[in-house]
């Protein structure tokens, strides 16, 4: 089976056929950096990181572009409220997003362009649209003429132009030929940043930014454009309109992840339920939070609850427990071991992570049985399968990404615990169980859990 994905533009599952054989190009709408990220923001990062990893594992050379919108109405409003320059807000929050992506194990993008670094490309795109009769300058602004593209506008969101509301992206609608026309460029306003253009100083509109960056790095026609389902209209609809009206093929497939909600409401800072990433990784470990976000199907909505988060953490710990115990018996894992076919089929079927993780848990159950009966050959095979599957999902507990560089105290703790365990072993051999229990309790008080196994005592840091 080959990779098949749900394409929002056709509202159907389609086989993935790349523009260029052996290569895959992905553009993901990244952060608008007016505030630090909550888990709703980072969900798309995790979902598309799994897609990227799976495509690479499937043999594609992947170019992954995730942009940063570092100039926007919201950023300007936040900066004004704080009394700081707009770029202070943008830089501070971009760093917070970068930290969050890295903390949850997302691979760095091939390229991560900022909108403010691509104004020349935006000017060129506007010139092409004006020349083709699809855009016009008015009062220092530049607008896309929706009526010039009316026969195709609304195809992604499955809407008809006559039923659409006004774009509502300017203070003076009289500058527009039609209320539905959307701003490509916004003329200069007091206190706002500006860049020079043939139509006067100003700043870019949100939709224009992504089209210019996507085509610069991935070409006029590329494979996949992704983002949250809330971006389908107007943002992605407008990207398609302006790019294709300018003569670009643009994206062949559109993928959208579902929202993360609390109760029936979409997460937002205004609701006071933002669940910022630094707070979340105090509740569970980063790898457990990644498991929580990756486990549901990417197109489904997630209704957040503390109970569900802790259940996800416990499920991951069961996987981790097998990997840890098996690795103490099997020291060399076959990184080239084939993946279970059911796992591959699940991911090829529109990135079916729930079914893929079900395969992981089944293999772990078999692995625990093999460990109990001392079948090293079976343990070696099942450990290799488990770790290779987890590597695709970015969840391998033995991966360096889940170990903080320069702070791995395992060898030091090993040496200290070894002495205590030797004393405990001696106490048990002379049947001084009170002394043995006292040593275990002292280790527990120090944050170290001891487990007696058929292969001897083993330790781990208490959770």
Local confidence band at 1 (pLDDT 50, 70, 90 cut-offs): confident
pLDDT grade for 171, boundaries at 50, 70 and 90: confident
Q: Report whether pLDDT(420) > 80.
A: no
User: What's the pLDDT at 437?
Assistant: 80
CA separation for the pair 408, 391 (Å, rounded): 21
Residue 272 has pLDDT above 70, yes or no: no
> What does pTM read for this prediction?
0.88
**Separation of alpha carbons 144 and 183, rounded Å:** 6
| Rounded Cα–Cα distance for residues 369 and 449 (Å) | 23
Average of per-residue pLDDT across 86-109: 97
CATH of domain 4-257: 3.40.50.620
State pLDDT tens for residues 430-441.
Answer: 888 787 788 778
* Model confidence pLDDT, tens digit, residues 328-343: 999 888 888 899 999 9
User: Domain extents for the chain?
Assistant: 4-257, 283-402, 410-461
Mean pLDDT of 361-372: 98
Q: Which stretch of 165-174, 185-194, 284-293, 359-368 has the lowest confidence by average pLDDT?
A: 165-174
Cα separation, 181 vs 200, in Å, equals 19
Beta-strand (E) ranges in 139-249?
A: 141-144, 182-187, 202-204, 221-228
Cβ atoms 434, 418 nearer than 8 A: no
User: When comparing pLDDT for 251 and 162, which is higher?
Assistant: 251
Give the mean pLDDT of 272-293. Answer: 90
Max CA separation in the chain (angstroms):
93
Domains 4-257 and 283-402 agree in fold = no
According to CATH, what is the number of the domain 283-402?
1.20.120.640
């Amino acid at each position: 089976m080959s990779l098949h994905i749900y394409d929002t533009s056709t509202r159907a599952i389609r086989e993935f056929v790349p523009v260029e054989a052996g290569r895959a190009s992905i553009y993901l709408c990244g952060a608008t950096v007016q505030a630090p990220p909550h888990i709703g923001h980072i969900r798309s990062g995790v979902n598309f990181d799994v897609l990227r990893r799976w495509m690479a594992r499937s043999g594609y050379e992947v170019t992954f572009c995730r942009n940063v919108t570092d100039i926007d109405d919201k950023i300007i409003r936040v900066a004004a409220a704080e009394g700081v320059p707009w770029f202070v807000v943008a830089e501070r929050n971009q760093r917070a997003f970068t930290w969050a992506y890295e903390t949850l194990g997302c691979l760095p993008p091939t390229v991560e362009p900022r909108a403010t670094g691509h104004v020349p490309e935006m000017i060129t795109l506007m010139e092409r649209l004006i020349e083709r009769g699809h855009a016009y300058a008015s009062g220092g602004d530049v607008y896309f003429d929706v009526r010039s593209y009316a026969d195709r506008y609304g195809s992604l969101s499955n809407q008809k132009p006559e039923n659409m509301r006004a774009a509502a992206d300017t203070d003076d609608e009289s500058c527009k030929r039609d209320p539905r026309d959307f701003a490509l460029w916004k003329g200069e306003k007091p206190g706002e940043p500006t860049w020079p253009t043939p139509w006067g100083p100003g700043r870019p509109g949100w939709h224009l930014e992504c089209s210019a960056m996507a085509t610069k790095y991935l070409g006029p026609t590329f494979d996949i454009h992704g983002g949250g389902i809330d971006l389908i209209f107007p943002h992605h609809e407008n990207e398609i309109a302006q790019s294709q009206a300018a003569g670009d093929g643009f994206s062949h497939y559109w993928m959208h992840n579902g929202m993360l909600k609390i109760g029936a409401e979409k997460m937002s800072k205004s609701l006071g339920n933002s669940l910022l990433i630094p707070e979340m990784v105090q509740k569970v470990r980063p790898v457990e939070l990644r498991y929580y976000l990756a486990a549901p199907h990417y197109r489904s909505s997630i209704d957040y609850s503390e109970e569900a988060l802790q259940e996800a953490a416990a499920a991951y710990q069961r996987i981790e427990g097998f990997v840890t115990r098996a690795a103490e018996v099997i020291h060399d894992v076959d990184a080239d071991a084939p993946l279970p076919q059911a796992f591959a089929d699940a991911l090829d079927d529109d990135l079916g992570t729930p079914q893929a993780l079900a395969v992981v848990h089944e293999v772990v159950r078999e692995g625990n049985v093999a460990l109990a009966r001392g079948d090293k050959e079976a343990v070696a095979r099942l450990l290799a399968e488990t770790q290779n599957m987890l590597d695709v999902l970015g969840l391998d507990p033995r991966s360096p990404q889940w170990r903080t560089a320069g702070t791995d105290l395992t060898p030091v703790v090993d040496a200290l615990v070894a002495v205590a365990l030797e004393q405990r072993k001696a106490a048990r051999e002379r049947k001084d169980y009170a002394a043995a229990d006292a040593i275990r309790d002292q280790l527990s008080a120090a944050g170290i859990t001891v487990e007696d196994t058929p292969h001897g005592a083993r330790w781990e840091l208490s959770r």
